[in-house]
Amino acid sequence: MFVWDAAEGKKLYALPAEHRDTITTVHFTPQATLVTAAKDRTVKLWKLGAEKAGLMRTIEHRSGAVDVLGVSHDGGRVLFDQDKARIDLVCLADKQTVGQIANMGSTASFATVALFNMDDSLLVTAGGEGELKGALQVWTTPQPGGRGSEIARLMTPSRSGVTCAAFSPVKDTPFLVVGTDRGSVHLWKPPSDAARATTVGKVTNIDSTDNRTVTVRVELDNTRLQLLDRSAATIIINPGQ
């Protein structure tokens, strides 16, 4: 991998060959560092100089399910595919996990891309095979120590596989552009705060078979939601209640 002077089209230097497989993510940060991810299941942080780059740290043991891993715009956090159903927010300074998003179900897996939006308030992820094929999930960015919630699910026509995605750089005109494995390009407007309606329900049963899983049965008025049989829904329980 090489660093170039874009203005003059001149190659400055090559980075040391620390990755052992194909590099799939490169991302500059405001701190003059470079974040790379590769199919060797590592994320690396580099300090860029005028004549050479030095490896600062390596974060290992990714699942390798997601090729393109986003970095927050302040350069502090990277999205890290912990396994096929879980993505962590990892602090680049100390490699500590500061939040996570997770899919439930044996066929709900992440793939291809995981990105921050322009103000880091939302995340978007692409689905893999199974029930999330051709799907883009929009999540709230987790608060420190917490878990993000899925707030929208976008489906490509014919459930085409997502190969790339990007948010618009214009904050006042937000949209998401997505490319697919069928050569099509689609644009969506991410859900706004005003579009996230709240539905109040009544908890009728709680069942827990272990300390990791709990099943909550909730009665909701389905007149507005119009959920179909076997639909997926995210229920947020206020810890203060």
Spell out the SS3 assignment of 70-106: CECCCCCEEEEEEECCEEEEEECCCCCEEEEEECCCC
Please report which confidence band the pLDDT of residue 231 belongs to, taking 50, 70 and 90 as the band edges: low
Least confident interval from 16-30, 111-125, 205-219: 205-219
- Is 173's pLDDT higher than 50? yes
Flag whether pLDDT at 235 surpasses 70: no
Q: What single DSSP character describes residue 71?
A: B
pLDDT for 193: 55
Give yes or no for a contact between 128 and 65, defined as CB atoms under 8 angstroms apart.
yes
Residue 194: pLDDT over 60: no
Closest C-alpha among 184, 191, 181 to residue 117: 191
Distance CA 171, CA 94 (A): 30
The two beta strands, 68-69 and 110-116, are: parallel
> So what's the pLDDT on residue 87?
97
pTM for the predicted model, two decimal places: 0.81
Distance in angstroms (rounded) separating the CA atoms of residues 13 and 175: 36
Angstrom distance (rounded) from CA 61 to CA 215: 30
Confidence of residue 226 (pLDDT cuts 50, 70, 90): confident
pLDDT at 198: 66
Q: pLDDT-based confidence at 54, cuts 50/70/90?
A: very high
Q: Say which residues have a Cβ less than 8 Å from residue 232's Cβ, sequence separation at least 6.
A: 153
Give percent of the chain with pLDDT exceeding 90: 66
Segment holding 10, helix H or strand E: strand 10-14
By C-alpha distance, which of 152, 70, 153, 69 is closest to 119? Answer: 70
Domain 2-191, architecture per CATH: 7 Propeller (2.130)
What is the average pLDDT across 109-119? 94
Place of tokens 């009665």: 219
pLDDT band at 59 (very low <50, low <70, confident <90, very high): very high
* Mean pLDDT value of segment 75-101: 96
60: tokens are 């290992």
- Higher local confidence (pLDDT), 22 or 220: 22
